[in-house]
Structure 1
Amino acid sequence: MLTANRSNIGRVRHVNEDHAWVGQLSGGLTYAIVADGMGGHQAGDVASKLAVDSFCNMLERQHEKAEVSQEEAKMLVRQAIAEANEKVYGMASRNERYHSMGTTVVAALLGGGSAVIGHVGDSRAYRISKEKLSLLTEDHSLVNELLKSGQLSYEEAANHPRKNVLTRAIGTDAHVDIDVQSLSWDAEDMLLLCSDGLTNMVSEEQILAVLAQESDDLAAKADQLIQQALEAGGEDNVTVVLLQEAAGAKRKEEAV
């Protein structure tokens, strides 16, 4: 599996409250997670790191098989995100300094021709397949709710003053609803996980233009997306994780 993991503090923020990780379980499955923290006094940084660490530790404790059913994989991702919520909520409840902290999470578990995506909040997952960009997640945000109900247009949503208000987050409640889905996965498909520091600054058309380039250098593509977000203003921390099976990238190269 080819992977890239890039994060930048941006041009405005003083602390990078995003955290991300890409790893491989002992059985061979690849997993990835992006978390975008929130809360004063660097609590967002604490929340996102704790969520990522909890998610990774849970998966690594629980799974060693090389192949799992889609239902097993969905259960694993759901349990790992639920454990992250429990850890963040527990620390926020015990420590007044972290009382208001929380974080988004978008995570993936890939292997055996399938992918499982789990998320809470407005960090996103996209599939890039046959030069088409498809959004796999739905933002858990106030603006998205207003958009779905027809109270806002896409143009109004893009500039709404409460754009960053979440309707769901990790760590703000003892229990959280987690969206989990499974989908078939082709070796040539690419997965993008990102914080809203990318999607608020860079259009989907611009993202696709970068990711559809004929190259298997995922690190260079991730760097290019980060740079575009910075050039557009860099108003938030920005994090990009890319994954693609090496075999798929090689086939694409040979077809040129």
Structure 2
Amino acid sequence: MTTSSRLEVASATDPGVVRSFNEDSISIDSDLQLLVLADGMGGYKAGDVASAMATGLIVDDIKRKLGVVKSQAIPKSEQSSVESEVIKAAIEKANRAIYKTAEANNKYHGMGTTVVLALFHNNRVTIAHAGDSRLYRLRHGRFDLLTHDHSLLQEQVELGLISSEEAKVSHNRNLVTRALGVEPEIKVDLIEKNVLPGDVYLLCSDGLNDMVDDTDIELAVSELQSNLALAATQLIQMANDNGGHDNVSVLMAKVVNDIEEERSLSDRLFGWLKKF
């Protein structure tokens, strides 16, 4: 990010209505402008271990390696590719650690976790994910899903075996085809996008999009984008109001142009003074 823009962030997580414990894990590193979300699986005291390991190990590894990268004064033109490799390596390392832990401890056998993250840097964002946790972007009134679910359901839709409408009520919604900790190696999807002032990014576990239609998610994000904390809370509430069958977590980030924000604050102050 340049000095003319900054990141405003908010987060919320909840076990939902049905489950008594939360296997999701979220992490924000404001200095790095890094957001990470993981949705664990494997039952009580296993899924939460996997997701906590994922967020903790990934953030620590990226922080350490990017510190080394910055000390090497790498040209800006090469920074994006280097940062992408750092992210990919961090996720692969976390995958191996979770896999070895599950193999070594019978209590954790079969545990795994999805992951989705966003690293904001030099007016760009690098997105990485494995599993069915998602990342959406609101830009100029358009709401787009930037990630691609790694799930059995998504594969069935793409093969034409079921329709999108049938997918919404399928019992296979939670069967992922990629997850950290399940195999010794993990394939990570990496996406890089430009960033514009006013962009709003939403990272979420499937406990949100399984319970709330994308159109309703879009409406909430659009209407409440000026108050990210309220938006995050509202999205959680919507999922719970619709049944809350799963843990639900959201991370939100808005790209703020400081110059425009100062002008907006001045306009609001002037409007307030006019009342007197």
Bin the TM-score by the shorter chain: over 0.9
Unmatched 5+ residue regions in structure 1?
A: none
Choose from 43, 46, 49 the match for 1:46.
49
Letter in 2 for 1:247: N
| TM-score between both structures, scaled by the size of structure 2 | 0.87
Q: Does residue 102 in structure 1 map to residue 102 in structure 2? A: no
Choose from 16, 25, 29 the match for 1:23.
29
| TM-score between both structures, scaled by the size of structure 1 | 0.93
Q: Does residue 128 in structure 1 map to residue 134 in structure 2? A: no
Choose from 58, 74, 99 the match for 1:55.
58
Unmatched 5+ residue regions in structure 2?
A: 1-6, 269-276
Letter in 1 for 2:61: M
Where 2:162 maps in the other structure, the secondary structure is coil
Percent of residue pairs identical = 37
Residue 66 of structure 2 contacts residue 83 of structure 2 at CA under 8 Å; is this kept in 1?
no
Letter in 2 for 1:14: S
CA distance in 2, matches of 1:89, 1:131: 41
Residue 118 of structure 1 contacts residue 179 of structure 1 at CA under 8 Å; is this kept in 2?
yes
Structure 1 vs Structure 2 CA RMSD: 1.9
Q: Which runs of at least 4 in structure 1 moved beyond 4 Å after TM superposition?
A: 251-256
Change in Cα spacing, 1:239 to 1:230, as seen in structure 2 (3 Å) is: same
CA distance in 2, matches of 1:187, 1:111: 13
Match of 2:98 in 1: 88
Higher radius of gyration, 1 or 2: 2
Letter in 2 for 1:18: D
TM superposition shift of 1:69: 2.1
CA distance in 2, matches of 1:128, 1:83: 31
Match of 2:211 in 1: 201
Change in Cα spacing, 1:195 to 1:252, as seen in structure 2 (3 Å) is: farther
CA distance in 2, matches of 1:172, 1:158: 26
Aligned residues: 253
CA distance in 2, matches of 1:253, 1:147: 45
CA distance in 1, matches of 2:263, 2:29: 24
Stretch deviating more after TM superposition (136-145 or 156-165) = 156-165
Where 1:181 maps in the other structure, the secondary structure is strand
